[in-house]
Amino acid sequence: MVSLSNHEVVASIPKGNPLKIAAIQMRSGLDPDANIAALEPMLAEAVAAGASYVLTPEVTVIFPENRDQLASVAAPFEDHPQLRRIGELARHYGIHIHIGSLAVPLPDGRFANRSVLFGPDGAIAATYDKIHLFDATIEGLNAYRESATYAGGEQAVTASVGDFTLGMSICYDMRFPKLYNALANAGATLIAVPAAFTVPTGQAHWHVLLRARAIETGSYVIAAAQGGQHPNGRATYGHSIIIDPWGRVVAELGHDEPGVLVAEISPELVTDARGRIPALANARNFALPGALQV
């Protein structure tokens, strides 16, 4: 695992073997054990299809309605019962299992929205805490403050998955290209975007943002989504998707029902896309009068 600070590293040309990956679409509820029980047969389906890396959505373990509801069930990260089970499954199948996120209690009473990657040995290979939090005041609507419940992370993270370098992100992060540029410059060739997108924003922005992140970084993007009407009253967009480095949709679940999406990806396509459009290599810092250096 590599944690990135503010410095940039120019990505090397990727080489290696193809990898079969899977995105699992869920409809997580308020019972952590029930959510993991619903996940297990879909993991088995992904493995049967040949996947050696499997991504689940944001808030896989529990999808709460409010902070009090979350606090009543969120377990400490150390010896977390549902994560312990996922580690057992990763070791049993001999694959990488990437839990898109779960809420982890912090000492200040808030939570980290944490993504957890397990290796084929069942051990945790990397963790990432969601950096960007949605705080907005919209005229005529109530203010939304994600930062009242969650604390934003401070480190971008990459990890090795087969012959790919995985860049980790979560949902709202996808609106911030600087993070994805940093991941790609640090060597990421596959970027994970577990999400729980609302229906209106999903219809408007889901495909275009994810395709843009793939195109501008010359990387594969895999986005595993929550979908449908949840017990907490929320409705999410679904449409889990895998996109290649040229911005083409390789595979998609065109609905909001639970399901498994599998595709094979190749490092050669990353090399080809970055060779044709060398945006990472051509990027330059510049000055904007009256502002800090960009």
> Is 4 inside any structural domain?
no
Tell me which residue of 161, 176, 185, 181 sits closest to 55, measured CA to CA.
161
> Is 166 inside any structural domain?
yes
Which residues are designated catalytic? Answer: 58, 130, 171
How confident is the prediction along the chain (294 residues), in pLDDT tens digits per residue?
655 544 344 445 567 899 999 999 999 999 999 999 999 999 999 999 999 999 999 999 999 877 888 888 889 999 999 999 999 999 999 999 999 999 999 999 999 999 999 999 999 999 999 999 999 887 766 677 889 899 999 999 999 999 999 999 999 999 999 999 999 999 999 999 999 999 999 999 999 999 999 999 999 999 999 999 999 989 999 999 999 999 999 999 999 999 999 999 999 999 999 999 999 999 999 998 886 655
Contacts for 276 with CB less than 8 Å, ≥ 6 apart: none
Q: What 3 state SS string does 162-207 have?
A: CCEEEEECCHHHHHCHHHHHHHHHCCCCEEECCECCEHHHHHHHHH
- By 3-state DSSP, what share of the chain in percent is helix, strand and coil, each rounded to 5? 30, 30, 40
> Is 73 inside any structural domain?
yes
Are 97 and 121 contacting, i.e. CB atoms less than 8 angstroms apart?
A: no
Both tokens assigned to 174:
């996808």
Looking at the structure of the chain, the number of domains it has is: 1
- pTM for this model (two decimals): 0.93
> Is 135 inside any structural domain?
yes
Domain that holds residue 217: 17-282
> Is 140 inside any structural domain?
yes
> Is 243 inside any structural domain?
yes
β-bridge pairing 220-223 and 241-243? antiparallel
HSE at residue 273, side-chain half, CA atoms within 13 A, is 22
> Is 136 inside any structural domain?
yes
Are 191 and 167 contacting, i.e. CB atoms less than 8 angstroms apart?
A: yes
> Is 1 inside any structural domain?
no
CATH (domain of 92): 3.60.110.10
- Cα separation, 6 vs 12, in Å, equals 19
